[in-house]
A and B are shown apart, each in its own frame.
Chain A
Amino acid sequence: MTIHLSIVLWLPLAAGVLAVILPRAAARWVSLLGALAVLAYAIVLVADYDTARGGLQHVTDVVWIRSLGIHYKLAVSGLNLFLILTTAIVFTAAALWSALREGRIPRPGLYALLMGLAETGVLGAFMAQDLALFVVFFDLMLVPFYFLTLVWGGPDRTRAVLKLFIYTLVGSLLMLVGAIATGVLAAKGGTPTFVLSDLQRHPLTRSSQEWIFLVFTLAFLIKMPAFPFHGWMPDGYQQMPIPVLAVFTAILSKVAAYGFLQVAIPLFPKAAVHFQELVMLVALASILYGSAMAFTTTRARLVLGYSSVAQLGFIVLGIFALNSRGADGALLQSMNHALVAGPMILIVALLAARTGGSEDIRDMGGMAVRGPLLAAVFLVLTYALLAMPGSANFIGEFFILLGVFQSKLALAVVAFAGVVMAAVYALRLYIRSMHNRVGADVEPRELGWRAGVVLIPMMLVVLALALYPQIALKRGDRAATRAIAGARLVQAAGSLATAPAQEARR
């Protein structure tokens, strides 16, 4: 069966354009249909993936801009397969949530168009097998979020969104220079090419690798966000509309994590080894800082925002363990976190609706009284978020820590503190909102059908993955191992080179 990735890629945008053209009332449904079609296609993609063969499948490769040597090359691999599926799931949830929303969204056509553009941008970044194409989509996917927040966001959005955009584009634009330099330097005077597999065959000199790697790392760490680069996050999170935030927090950070495995480590293995400890320390700082902030802030959104910082810290830690355990775990955890963080944000909206609009957890409490179903869904997601044994998140974190143990023991010990802290902030959010005394302005209500239709299937997906995580692990394993293979070779060569030196010294 031939699957055209271009169809999957452009379908959301096409649905968005259709939603603008068709009458206003149809917009939300067209948008939902588009998202569902992508989801269906993504499921076919997963089912059709030949795990035994591995590698790039369903490759589309045409020259896009001849003069620049940029190819329009898309493919699925073990690395992006499940991230594509996750993207489709989260976007479908967001579209469903928006479609079922009580009361009209103003300018529904524009909303549908921008959400479609966002999904196309994210899918493009995941599928791209050309460095320049990756950069294009990586930058492009931010543009719809700017407008989505600007038009439908909170009261203080203009400033917040400017901050978000400038912060993240600082990284992206530097990455653009890095990408171009990679192509030009690898070509050594010939016509540059940006196809990833070609670039991998012509590794750069160590000094070039180092600065370009740092530029890419900076871009990814800002997008995640990781600890010292998270300045845009609190403001941005507060002002984004709920379904948009659900997508943003669930998916966009994963593009950055994926970028490490797809671009930064395979293309710049020497630099990845050189800076391994630096990046791991940043990841560790993110874990500790994110967790600490998450259990001190009182705004429900920010609890999730800072928990994201911590969780992404785990993922980066796993990737930079530079062994296949860590990479496997990071890949699985990317998917887990996306599937949990998305619905969690939606639940925050439900909580706020029951607290008279306040998202402060001090105003909440006792909502489980009349909402056992809501409490159950929330509890399952909370357990997944804190990586309770039995959840897929547990397996992900377990693999990550196993990988880190093997490479850097001391870091793993500290990282364990993060696991404990996750339990504290996740349970704190749950207990403060669901248990305790019923807050002054709280009206406990059961999960309505509109929210239930979105949240219960999402919860089931989380449960299914908890029961059978191998489905993702098995397909991702080889690709993840291959992504870090170059760096492992460099490490092995490095230890061979230093061993005789040490002996000589002795």
Chain B
Amino acid sequence: MTAVLAAASVTGPHIDWAAISPIVALLGGSVVVLLVGLLRARVVRHQVVPLLALLAFGAAIGLVIWQWDTDTLVVAGAMRIDSLTLLSALLVCSTGVAATLIAWRGRAARELAHGEFFALMLVSAAGMVVLVAAVNLVTTFTGLELLSLPLYVLCAAMMRSERSLESGLKYLIIGSVGSATLLYGFALIYGATGRTGYAAIAQALVAKDIAGDVLVLTAVAMIVVGLAFKASLAPFHQWTPDVYEGAPTSVTAFMSVATKTAAFGAIVRLFDTALLPTVDDWRPVWIAIAVISILVGNAGALGQSSMKRMLAYSSIAQAGYILVGFVVVTRLGVQAVLFYLAVYLFANLAAFAVVAARERETGLGDDIGALRALGARRPLLAVSMTLAMLSLAGIPATAGFIGKFRLIEAAADGGYTWLGIIIVIGSMISLAYYLPVVAAMWRDEAQSAPAPEIDGRTGLPALAGGSPEADPPRAGWEVQLVALVLGAATLAFGIYPQPLFDLVQSAARGLGL
């Protein structure tokens, strides 16, 4: 008995608070936001709470920059804070800032009560950072659930919208299947190796010479499937279009970028350290998934009139491109993955910001018709959207082109030039759905009626003479700011990408490559 007590009173593991400070900031911020959100004053709920959420994300970004050169194992070897973690955290938190700005005056945050909405988003972001940092199967799963559970709720945030509820439920069910599959895989890995730490698993796989064992192969297959669900890679993507379309636009924006960043961070870390001895077994599988994602995503996006659905399919294709950088299993490839995640962030969030802005200004929701003749009426929004579309398609002078260049270079360097050709075939197909968006915005008004404006306050179409203001309603400045800043970044990093390259330079250092 005393022995047990003595053991219990043993001090916990040493915790490097400075290293995990970004996670602490996100979790602490969520608690503060939740509590402040309980206050009744309207100004507090509508203005102070989002501001606090922004502050939490901003603080996390600041702490990430403070810890930039850290490379250490923390919390008894459960997590590794290195430049892969910190870079992913930077991307996730930047996405969080953008999503918070988009959500600020949106319907979703109001319906769910602001405190809960933003608190959930912060928790989810913390889960993403934990997921990428995890170097232990238990931590990995904890991070995964920490990121997933809040997202299920956030998808259903518009509680009076059937589609939003459907989206949340669908995501919950399919996401749980994905998590369960992953968990089974982890359990089998533990069964085979007796370890949960990544480095120890890799050692055990080599030492016991069981890399080709059926148990291990089954485990690897289940892990691949589970993570492919999370990263919405084909053929495990069926939930994506429905969930993306139904969820509030701010949540979709957050999910499409941040979740992907975290999922890819986890995939890279897990497969390039713990499962590296089985590389010959999982590489063909991931290659197949990459090719299928590129083809299915691009084919599915063709002819979609809902912008969110189109972007959902496009994000599947983009995930396929990113996967090409991963499957070559080189440092160059990992750098290409992170570089592409950054440029994908700029373009995708800019696109979602414009979609969100037009959702509020017109009665057409996320239909492509809401963008019609935008070039003449709102040139800045239209330019941002155009740059986003061209960047996603990989046209020169946008960051997307440089990103694709890097991915293809990594593929050629790793001896997989044919995957580079698959990427460009995908890009060709993608032009057939990105360009019509651009065309809708820039064709002159005379031939295509502009999207009808609605009354900003009532949410109903303005009656002739019944509108209190002569001006059509404008989406809040913050949404336009997101679109503009990210559109400008797309262009700027397309012309001078070197700073971004310097940022991802050391990303692969902590891996087994």
Chain A: residues with CB nearer than 8 A to chain B?
Answer: 65-68, 106-107, 132, 135-137, 139-140, 143, 146-147, 150-151, 158, 161-162, 165-166, 169-170, 173-174, 176-177, 180-181, 183-185, 192
Closest to B504 in A: A67
Interchain nearest-CB distance for B335 vs A (Å): 8
A150 x B443 contact (CB < 8 A): yes
Whether A165 contacts B431 in the complex (CB less than 8 A), given A139-B396, A150-B439, comes out as yes
Give 16 A-B pairs besides A158-B439, A177-B421 with Cβ atoms closer than 8 angstroms.
A65-B402, A67-B497, A67-B501, A68-B402, A107-B376, A136-B397, A151-B444, A158-B443, A162-B432, A162-B435, A166-B428, A169-B427, A173-B428, A177-B408, A183-B409, A184-B413
B408 x A180 contact (CB < 8 A): yes
Interchain nearest-CB distance for A31 vs B (Å): 18
B406 x A181 contact (CB < 8 A): no
Closest to A170 in B: B428
**A137 CB contacts on chain B under 8 angstroms:** 396
26 A–B contacts from the bound complex (CB under 8 Å): A65-B498, A67-B497, A67-B505, A106-B444, A107-B376, A132-B405, A139-B395, A140-B395, A140-B397, A143-B396, A151-B375, A151-B442, A158-B436, A158-B443, A166-B435, A169-B428, A173-B394, A173-B427, A176-B404, A180-B420, A181-B420, A183-B409, A184-B409, A184-B413, A185-B412, A192-B413
Query: How far does the alpha carbon of A177 sit from the alpha carbon of B416 in the complex, in Å?
Result: 11
Interchain nearest-CB distance for B117 vs A (Å): 39
Interface hits, B408-453 → A, CB 8 Å: 408-409, 412-413, 417, 420-421, 423-424, 427-428, 431-432, 435-436, 438-439, 442-444
Query: How far does the alpha carbon of A66 sit from the alpha carbon of B497 in the complex, in Å?
Result: 9
A66 x B444 contact (CB < 8 A): no
A65 x B497 contact (CB < 8 A): yes
Closest to A151 in B: B442
Size band of the interface chain B makes with A: 35 or more
Closest to A117 in B: B397
A147 x B431 contact (CB < 8 A): no
A162 x B439 contact (CB < 8 A): yes
B401 x A68 contact (CB < 8 A): no
Other-chain contact of B424, A143, A151, A177 (Cβ < 8 Å): A177
B432 x A150 contact (CB < 8 A): no
B431 x A176 contact (CB < 8 A): no
Is chain A's interface secondary structure helix, strand, loop, or mixed overall? helix
A140 x B396 contact (CB < 8 A): yes
Query: How far does the alpha carbon of A180 sit from the alpha carbon of B408 in the complex, in Å?
Result: 7
A68 x B424 contact (CB < 8 A): no
Chain B: residues with CB nearer than 8 A to chain A?
Answer: 375-376, 390, 394-397, 401-402, 404-406, 408-409, 412-413, 417, 420-421, 423-424, 427-428, 431-432, 435-436, 438-439, 442-444, 497-498, 501-502, 505
Query: How far does the alpha carbon of A181 sit from the alpha carbon of B497 in the complex, in Å?
Result: 21
Interchain nearest-CB distance for A484 vs B (Å): 27
Interchain nearest-CB distance for B317 vs A (Å): 14
A68 x B439 contact (CB < 8 A): no
Query: How far does the alpha carbon of A143 sit from the alpha carbon of B444 in the complex, in Å?
Result: 18
Interchain nearest-CB distance for B419 vs A (Å): 10
A181 x B412 contact (CB < 8 A): yes
**B390 CB contacts on chain A under 8 angstroms:** 143
The 10 closest A-B pairs by CB, nearest first: A67-B501, A173-B424, A184-B412, A140-B396, A136-B396, A177-B420, A139-B396, A181-B412, A180-B408, A180-B409
Query: How far does the alpha carbon of A285 sit from the alpha carbon of B469 in the complex, in Å?
Result: 65
**A147 CB contacts on chain B under 8 angstroms:** 442
Query: How far does the alpha carbon of A139 sit from the alpha carbon of B402 in the complex, in Å?
Result: 13
**B395 CB contacts on chain A under 8 angstroms:** 139-140, 143
**B439 CB contacts on chain A under 8 angstroms:** 150, 158, 161-162
**A139 CB contacts on chain B under 8 angstroms:** 395-396, 401
